[in-house]
Chains A and B, each alone.
Chain A
Amino acid sequence: MHERREGEINLSLTGLTAHELCELLRNREISSVELTRAHLERINTLEDKIRAFVTVTADLALSQAKETDAKRLRGEELPPLAGIPVALKDNMCTKGIKTTCGSKILYNFIPPYDAAVAEKLNEAGAILVGKCNMDEYAMGSSTENSGFYPTRNPYDFNAVPGGSSGGSAAAVAAGESVIALGSDTGGSIRQPAAFCGVIGLKPTYGAVSRYGLVAYASSLDQIGPFSKDVTDCALALNVIAGHDPKDSTSAPVDVPDYTKFLVNDIKGMKIGMPREYTGQGIDPEVNVCLRQAAARLEELGAVCEEVSLPHTEYALPAYYIIAPAEASSNLARYDGVQYGLRVEGDDIISMYSKTRSQGFGEEVKRRIMLGTYALSSGYYDAYYLKALKVRTLVKQDFDKAFEKYDCLLTPTTPSVAFNFGDKINDPLAMYLSDVCTIPVNLAGIPAMSMPFGMVKGRPVGIQLIGRAFDEGTLLRVGYALEQNSDLTRPRPELKGVM
């Protein structure tokens, strides 16, 4: 190992997982500075093509890394992610570091405070390498709605990385960051994780503090990790999960050590496969991968059975009432008065109007309009209230399934990553790419996407859905599959770049 030349080390370091790197750091085979440099160089090399970041915090990362090395040299006890490069989706506030939410309206916003997750990662010793690109205000499934530029899929630069956390997913897939955080309102972690061939977990609503996460739809938003393998996912969840008194919707539950679930034993586990998730609109080749995964799980001793979640088809329309309704209110504060973009007008109304017209992109405006309409006097009962009732029915479907099954297995997305331009002019087609992930947000339960096979050179994601606060089971099943299949750790070739 000591024989390797600098360049070689860099290349291999950016391919390793957090738990592998922690080992190397602990044994002093590498330094934090070396590891951070490797990732910053990787970012330098790849960013022209991938554009996973809005902001790269190279100076901060290097100074944090130096500090970590100094502590290690002094023999100090170091926290779990000491020296590990991480990235945050740009909708998580970072004190003194620009936080744009992928929007022109926040192009210059520098928060005076840290999001709870930023604080926790910092306490865990992680090194922040940058803030990741995203669909504006987390509205979108391709990063094509970013107010700045789209991010490209590391597997194929013609393909979208998924969204809205496309930057975070691509950064991890391309080895620009070891771990990244994203947020998931209707699939915004799992869908890009699937498209980029990485692990993406949306925890139970209330498991991770939302304090400092720029709100899109507050009752659905949840922060979660992207990682290269299931073990890293557990490590990251250990750091970010837990009650936060600053978030009233954060659950006062004890956080287990999630690595305890990584046991490579799923004998006798019962796994449901909802038939509504494999029917019309789902690419048959994706279903082939799903069946392969199920077969592998059965070989490992699990029982896979078909189950029905009858209200699934109503989840998408309900989501597109509830999420825009909340968004229309959450995004009202971007009015040019206090921070961000201000376009001067003749009076206060024209200032509001010009600022918001020029600051927000098309999709954001579409959802603000949708939500405003849904909450308007005379329409509230017919839309918002009805959508809430559907939400309850969707949740009850899951509750019922979990009486019998330990977890559910579905495709994460109806197809593999699509190409730029394929859906951007057809909002409904774009919305349908989240059809398998949205019901989970409505129910507030956890789900994890993990890679399983490829279709036309693009990764396929499968989704494990669990009971509320039972992320452990998802990690356990995912870990077993990962340990017993070579289809779960794809690597992008990055042709023509590396």
Chain B
Amino acid sequence: MGVQYETVIGLEVHAELKTNTKIFCSCPTEFGGEANTHVCPVCLGLPGVLPVLNKRVLEFAVRAGLALNCEIASFSKFDRKNYFYPDLPKAYQISQYDLPICKKGYLDIMVDGTSKTIGVTRVHMEEDAGKLLHGGSTITASHYSLVDYNRTGVPLIEIVSEPDMRSADEARAYMEKLKAILEYIDVSDVKMEQGSLRCDANISLRPAGSEKLGTKTEIKNMNSFRSLQRAIEYEVKRQKEILEEGGTIIQETRSWDEEKGITVSMRSKEEAHDYRYFPDPDLVPVIIDPQWVSEIRDSLPELPDARRERLVNEMGLSGYDAGIITGSRALADYFDQVAAQYNEPKTVANWLMGEFLRLLNAGSMEIKDSKIAPANFAALLKLQADGTISGKMAKAVFEEMFETGKDPEAIVREKGMVQISDEDSLAFIIEKVIASNQGSVQDYRAGKEKAIGFLVGQVMKETKGQANPGVVNKLLKQKLDT
């Protein structure tokens, strides 16, 4: 009989902090820029330079720690992680080893309607490395490699989870929640595709019911939520097949190959570095004033879970809708702004999740790129609600607004799209349609209720879609039923 395996997943997430300047010098952190232009002797690691901690980095790390329900260490320090690589100009990375700034936190995820708490082991600060551009496929297969130190010294936080996740879905939900939280507290751009949010996954299997962890592999190079999910699914399957054939898992680091959809071995445990961590003597210990921590705590915005609760309890949204809307602070903020001017939260939610997200996704855009002002969004919904325009017209107007950013009333006016609800204006057309469609009239009177739909369609056609279908329906029935 086959052994049932349980999947155990822990994630190590790196988020670039969106401070203006680097962690240990005053160079700009700005993404892009000509190679090696955002550099100075300090981030280039020239002989004799010394690091000085950017206080903003500390503040952002504490913000993240508080948002993740962590304990904030009153005493913390920086350590050197020693290894040779050309993108690391000092041949060591300044990081935090045994005394991280934050530890023992958690966040809640929701998978298939079930809530689960995932532990956050620690959050620590460190510096990013530079970027290498190889002449060939890898550093060893290249005649030359070029290095850009612009990213060197950009501040990072590393967020390490407990091995609490049991499926790729849970891992993805954790990552999505983490992204949302970091976005809410405004400490990172959290763009996986651009590398401002990166994730490594530790994956192992164990017989169901067993307490002891199995041998793990570490998966790197997953650049989207989708690749995270696919990579984990693949790796779980790979490990399961090995175990079912009686094999053993080798502890190693594996790289996700997006194109092939597989993980490939990078290096084994034996080849792993001894980083020779030790306290960085160039930096002084970080001693945190509890008063400062409470000031940061007080400055935290409403976080995704609280906001979701509010949308459900106070605005009557379904848990599912509220989850989607609060999954991104930008979307949730936008929702609040529209709903503040048009007090029908469900309608607002439907439009946001429907038309709005559809158009944004189609254009690979973000909410901040949208031309539709929340006030115009609300105005459009009001036009539809008071019957000035039909739902179909509203969609057309919305697309136009999305394109041009114009206000909906102007669009409606320009296009003469005003809905005809006036019964006197419609009576004449209805008479005409009844007269020229006697077959359908007979059918209706014979009990075929559906035939009225055809007649309404004819009226709409005659009015070039401007007739209010509700009113048309009502008038038609009055005529035919008498």
Contacts and interface: CB of A to CB of B under 8 A. Distances in A.
B89 A113 contact: no
Interface in A202-223: 210-215, 217-219
A325 B52 CA distance: 22
Given A348-B86, A380-B278, A211 B48 contact: yes
Indicate the size class of the contact surface on chain A. Answer: 35 or more
B139 interface: yes
Contact of B47 (A333, A337, A348, A352): A333
A325 B82 CA distance: 11
A333 B91 contact: yes
Contacts of A214: 47-48
A92 B139 CA distance: 34
Interface pairs A-B: 8 shortest CB-CB: A332-B91, A219-B281, A218-B281, A375-B276, A214-B47, A212-B48, A93-B48, A377-B274
B340 interface: no
Given A248-B284, A377-B276, A380-B278, A329 B50 contact: no
Contact of A113 (B41, B82, B139): B41
Nearest to A346: B140
Residues of B contacting A: mostly: loop
Interface string B89-120: 11110000000000000000000000000000
A213 B48 contact: yes
A246 interface: yes
B51 interface: yes
B292 interface: no
Interface in A313-342: 325-326, 328-329, 332-335, 337-339
B41 A112 contact: yes
A29 interface: no
A92 B52 CA distance: 19
A372 interface: yes
A244 to B, nearest CB: 9
Given A99-B47, A115-B48, A248-B53, A376 B92 contact: no
Interface in B53-110: 53, 80, 82, 84, 86, 89-92
Given A245-B52, A348-B139, A333 B276 contact: no
Contact of A218 (B82, B145, B147, B282): B282
Contact of B84 (A210, A332, A347): A332
Contacts of B45: 333, 338
Given A111-B41, A218-B282, 7 more contacts: A213-B48, A245-B52, A246-B52, A325-B278, A326-B281, A332-B90, A333-B47
B44 interface: yes
A93 B50 contact: no
Interface in B277-298: 277-278, 281-284
Contact of B278 (A92, A113, A375): A375
A101 interface: yes
B57 to A, nearest CB: 14
Contact of A111 (B47, B50, B53): B47
B242 interface: no
Nearest to B284: A248
Interface of B: 41, 44-53, 80, 82, 84, 86, 89-92, 139-140, 145, 147, 274, 276-278, 281-284
Most chain-A CB neighbours within 10 Å: which of B45, B90, B91, B140? B91
Nearest to B86: A337
Nearest to B278: A375
A214 B282 CA distance: 12
A247 B278 CA distance: 19
A109 B49 CA distance: 14
A212 B420 CA distance: 80
B84 A384 contact: no
A106 interface: yes
Contacts of A57: none
Nearest to A337: B86
A213 B48 CA distance: 5
Contacts of A332: 82, 84, 90-92
Contact of B89 (A111, A328, A333): A333
B274 A210 contact: no
Contacts of B281: 217-219, 249, 326
Most chain-A CB neighbours within 10 Å: which of B44, B48, B49, B283? B48
B155 to A, nearest CB: 16
A153 to B, nearest CB: 28
A205 to B, nearest CB: 10
Contacts of A338: 44-46, 89
Nearest to A137: B47
B147 A337 contact: yes
A246 B288 CA distance: 21
Interface string A215-236: 1011100000000000000000
Contacts of A211: 48-50
A323 to B, nearest CB: 11
